[in-house]
Amino acid sequence: MRPTRQRLALAALLVGDGGNRHVTAESLYAAAAAEGEKVSLATVYNTLRAFCDAGLMTEITVDAARSYFDTRTDDHPHFFWEDSQTLCDAPAEQLDIRSLPKAPDGAEVARVDVVIRLRRRS
């Protein structure tokens, strides 16, 4: 993968702020624009996809309307705030799964997604 100016800029944004970012294409596009980086939305999509294909980040499916991307690539749980549509990491060490439904014959587990949907307490 070629280290072009746009890719480096997007990568810097993703790694910056201490890493562990959860972005949507729109939010990353906005962040790039805020820094004065000239990147098109299509390139943001293409780049996010390229990073995912390269194993540098993963796509998290929590909302049918929008795709979220996570800079962490290991399997870990997430909090999803339903009111603000915000995604963030949940402390993995507080999750204790003692047993998992065993995969049917001929199947192997690719990933286990755990999404804890949160509502603001009334």
Partner DNA sequence: GTATATGCAAACCGTTTGCATGGCT
Partner DNA sequence: AGCCATGCAAACGGTTTGCATATAC
CB of 55 to DNA, least distance (A): 16
CB 87 within 8 A of CB 80: yes
- Over 39-62, what HEC string results? CCHHHHHHHHHHHHHCCCCEEEEE
Which residue in 56, 77, 58 sits closest to 69, CA to CA? 58
Residues 72-111 that bind its own copies (CB under 8 A): 77, 79, 81-82, 90-92, 94-104, 106-111
Q: Which of 2, 34, 64, 74 binds its own copies (CB under 8 A)?
A: 64
Question: What are the residues binding DNA (CB under 7 A)?
Answer: 1-7, 24-26, 38-43, 45-47, 49, 64-67
- What is the number of residues in the chain? 122
Residue 9 tokens read as 């800029």
Binding positions for its own copies, rule: CB under 8 A: 59, 61-64, 66-67, 77, 79, 81-82, 90-92, 94-104, 106-121
